[in-house]
Structure 1
C-alpha cells in the first residue's frame, strides 16, 4: 500500500560521485512512495541539508570529502539521524554501519532488485515511525500521561519475524526465541535448539523486542530472560549466562548493570 501523497518519503543522497547520485536519483524516481529527492556532494553539505530539511531517508556513501559517512553520523547523533541506507563500494565498513543502526548496506555495484528491497524496508520502518508518532501525539492531546503515550509503540511491536532464505520463508514467533547473536549484517536466532539466520542487525532487532523479556548481555548477544537456566560466577566478578539449550555466553561488564536491573538482583 502506498503512503498518502503528503507522507511521501523525502530522500537525501549523499555521495561525492555524480554518476552514483544520478543512478540513485533515477531509481528513486521510479518509486511511487518517494517525493522530494535532494543531493549532497560532500559530508559537510549533507550535514547542513539534514539539519535544515530533515529528510526521512538518507542514502549515504562512506568515503566523502569534508566529512566521511561515519563522521557525519557521529556529528548528527542518534536523535537527528534519518533512516540511513549506506551505499558504498567499501564492504569493510558494514559492521560499523549496522552498529550505528543503519537500515541497510548496499555494496556497489548493486542490482535494481537489491535497491528495491532496501527501499521496501525503509517504507516499513518509516510507516511504523509515523504510526508511533501519531499515536503518541493523540495520547498527548488526550492528556493521558506518559504511560499511555508509550502504548502505541508497544502495540506496534511485531510478534513474529519473517525470515527469508533461498528455500522458504519462515515465520518465527519472537516469544520462542531463546537467544540471539550477531553475525555481521545478520543475526542468528536460537529457537528451541535450532539456529535460524536472519538478515537484520542486532541493534535493529533489539528495537523490536520486549525489553521486559529480552536483555542484552554483550554487544553481540541478547537473551530471553525466560530461557536462562542459570548464571555461573567466574573470576574477577565476571559471569556466564547458561541458557536452557546449553549455550553459555559471557556477561559483558558493560551490560551487567542492565541484567541486574532486569533481574532485580545484584550479581
Structure 2
C-alpha cells in the first residue's frame, strides 16, 4: 500500500456525539474511502470479523464489552491499526501494551487527531511486501527469545477449581473455547474454566502448535485428525476425539501459515 491507497475506517464509541465528531474529521481525508460505525464492543467485533477495516478508532470504556475486551476477543495479531479514544489517561499504558498505534484523550483537538491519522496512514503506506517480510523475520527472532525466557510461553496452565489446583500441560490441550470473557480448556476428555480471555491465552501459547481457527476457538494442531471442506472457503476441523470445529475464512490464512502449506 502507499499513500495513494484508500482505506476503510471503523469508529467504535457508545456515545453518538463522539462518533459524529470522529466521522466529521475523517470525512475531510481523501485517503478514507469508507467510514463505518459501531456503538458497542459486540458490533465492533462483528465488523472486524466480517469486513476488517484498515484503521479502528476504539473507545476504551463501553457498557458490557469494552475496548480491551474487543482486542482480547479478536486477538492482538488480528486487530487492524488501533487508535484508542478515551476520557481517561489511566488506560494509556495498557493501551500501548495492547499494541495500540496511538491514544487520543478526550477532548482532543483537531491537530491531535491529525497527528494520529498521519501516523496511521504512514504505517499503512509502509506495508510493502518487503517491509512485511522484514516484520516476519523480527517475529521469528522474538519468538525464539520468548522461548528462552521462563514463563513467557506457557508450557502448562495452572487452573484452580473447587479448592484444587491443577496443572494442565499445554501439549495435552486439544482445543480452547471462548466462554464469555474467559475460556474453557478441553483436555483429554475433560473441560476446565480458565479465567483469561481467548486473545490473551493465544498470545502465551506456542504459535507453532496452537492456532486460532474461529473467533471462539483455538486448536492444538497435533489434535487434528482431518479437515472436511465446506462451502465458501470454510472447513470442518475434526479432532482425534471426534469433536467438530469450524475453520472460518478469516482465520484460514493464519492456519495455512502455521502449517506452511495451502489447504
User: Which one of the candidate residues 112, 115, 129 is aligned to 1:114?
Assistant: 112
Displacement of 1:151 in angstroms is 5.4
Deviation string 1:56-84 (CA, Å, 9 cap, x unpaired) is 00000011123100011000002320100
Which of 48, 61, 67 matches 2:59? 61
Counterparts of 1:40-51 in structure 2, within 5 Å, are 40-51=38-49
- Structure 2 gaps of 5+ residues are 150-263
1:182 corresponding residue in structure 2: none
**In the alignment, which residue of structure 2 is the partner of 1:90?**
88
**Deviation of 1:211 (Å):** 5.4
CA distances 1:4-29 after superposition (whole Å, capped 9, x unpaired): 3xx31100000000000000000001
- SS state of the match for residue 110, structure 1? coil
Which structure 2 residues correspond to residues 151-230 of structure 1 after superposition, within 5 A? none
1:127 to 125, 128, 132: 125
- Distance in 1, matches of 2:101 and 2:13, equals 17
Equivalence for 1:27: 25
Gaps of 5+ in 1: 137-148, 155-205, 219-267
Q: Does 1:11 align with 2:9?
A: yes
Counterpart residue number, 2:74: 76
Displacement of 1:40 after TM fit? Answer: 0.2
Aligned residue number for residue 97 of structure 2: 99
Corresponding residue SS for 2:99: coil
What secondary structure sits across from 1:86 in the alignment? strand
- Count of equivalent residues: 146
Q: Distance in 1 between matches of 2:118 and 2:86?
A: 19
Deviation at 1:35, TM superposition (A): 1.2
Given the alignment of the two structures, is residue 37 of structure 1 paired with residue 7 of structure 2, yes or no?
no
> What SS does the corresponding residue of 1:79 show, helix, strand or coil?
helix
Does structure 1 conserve the Cα–Cα contact (< 8 Å) formed by 2:41 and 2:66? yes
Query: What secondary structure, in the 3-state scheme, does the structure 2 residue paired with 1:150 have?
Result: helix
Q: CA deviation at 1:128?
A: 1.3
CA–CA distance in structure 2, aligned partners of residues 11 and 91 of structure 1: 23
TM-score by length of 1: 0.49
The structure 1 segments of at least 4 consecutive aligned residues displaced by more than 3 Å after TM superposition are 149-154, 215-218
| Residues in 2 aligned to 1:38 and 1:151: alpha-carbon distance in whole angstroms | 31
Distance 1:91 1:35, change over 3 A: same
